[in-house]
Structure 1
């Protein structure tokens, strides 16, 4: 399991909170699974290496959420997608030590 590091900036904290809409990681995970990214999700939940997530894949799966974050932060949707794509695999991996997301 990868080591979890707390978000380094208020922007990163806002990205996570906004993306998950206060409902936990499970909501984002379900959207990604429905978007056809189940193989990547399974790697984050499993004990092996985490498959990377590209900003483009994330944008296609969660475009509306990323746009909302961009508006709130004053960033571009591309910057938001890149940052969230970097954080999401390690976040899911960190909150699922037994291969299951918290309920």
Structure 2
């Protein structure tokens, strides 16, 4: 499992907390799988290298969450999606030792 440093900014912490509170990681993973991102999600859950996800892919898959975060922060949806794309793969990797989500 790859190590993850604490998010560097308050915005990154907010993004993670807004998308899932620890108990919602499984739901987020399933939502991404249903959106056709299963290969990328599986790479985050595995012990190998994490495949990147684009802001566009996440914007489509998590449009409700992205829109909510954008409204709460005053940022544009594109910027929020870029932030999520940067922090989500290592965050999911960090909470899935040996390929299993820790709740």
Aligned-partner Cα distance in 1 for 2:71–2:16: 14
1:61 alignment counterpart: 61
Can you give the 5+ residue segments of structure 1 that lack an aligned partner in the other structure?
Answer: none
The secondary structure found in structure 2 opposite 1:2 is coil
> What TM-score results when the alignment is normalised by the length of structure 2?
0.93
Task: List per-residue Cα deviations over 1:23-47 (Å, max 9, x = no partner).
Answer: 3321211110111111111111111
Instruction: Establish whether residue 93 from structure 1 lines up as the match of residue 102 from structure 2.
Output: no
Q: CA RMSD in A?
A: 1.3
Between the two proteins, the alignment pairs up a number of residues equal to 103
**1:10: how far off?**
1.3
1:79 alignment counterpart: 79
Aligned-partner Cα distance in 2 for 1:35–1:95: 21
- Alpha-carbon spacing, 1:22–1:49, altered in 2? closer, same or farther (3 Å): closer
> What TM-score results when the alignment is normalised by the length of structure 1?
0.93
Relative to structure 2, which stretch is displaced further, 61-70 or 1-10? 1-10
Q: Which runs of 4+ in 1 moved over 2 A?
A: 21-24
2:13 alignment counterpart: 13
Task: List per-residue Cα deviations over 1:32-73 (Å, max 9, x = no partner).
Answer: 011111111111111111100000000110011000001111
1:36 alignment counterpart: 36
**1:22: how far off?**
6.1
Task: List per-residue Cα deviations over 1:45-102 (Å, max 9, x = no partner).
Answer: 1111110000000011001100000111111110000000010100011111110002
